[in-house]
Amino acid sequence: MILIKKYANRRLYDTSASAYITLSECADIIRAGTEVQIIDAKSKQDITVIVMIQIIMECEQNFQILPVAALRQIIKAYGSRSGSLLSRYLERTMSSFAHHHLDLDEALEASLDAIEKDRQPKIGRPAQTDVFDSRKRELLEQLQIEMKQLSARIQKL
């Protein structure tokens, strides 16, 4: 976990790197999966949530992913008995999303790899489409033979 101190001049100080960082760089650290704790340098109060909300506000200006209706429900939950329930729900939902998002990415990558493999002709073997076309021709020829046989039977009647 990285400890970041926020000073009165709104500057963020990464204690692990002994360097000042921007809010955007702090967001990059979080996106990389590193846990952070952000404290007010003077009061020593934990302000991690406040800074993360600032990061979200910056991101929302460029790319809006939070629907207004959802934000409205979150605001309504503040001060109500359902606030702690909503907090637990959001935490579990986001954890599940992150887990399944990785699974989805892996499945999509595997599918794309399989598609790419099927497109490459196999050396010494006909391409998949050639095998399919050959099978279609065989079925068509068989149907034509059966049609001729049926036609001959009908004529005898």
The residue count of the chain comes to 157
Look up the pTM and report it. 0.60
Residue labelled with tokens 């009061």 = 43
> In angstroms, rounded to a whole number, what is the distance separating the alpha carbons of residues 121 and 13?
56
Average pLDDT of the chain to the nearest whole number: 83
pLDDT attached to residue 156 = 57
Reported as a single tens digit per residue, the pLDDT across 86-122 is 888 889 988 888 878 777 777 778 877 777 776 665 5
Least confident piece of the model among 39-48, 90-99, 125-134: 125-134
**Position with higher pLDDT, 137 vs 3:** 3
Q: Angle at CA 78, nearest 5°, toward 9 and 65?
A: 70
The residues spanned by each domain of the chain are 1-65, 67-143
The closest alpha carbon to 14, from 59, 46, 23, belongs to 23
* pLDDT value of residue 64: 83
pLDDT digits (tens, 9 = 90+) for 47-90: 999 999 999 998 888 888 888 888 898 888 888 888 888 888 88
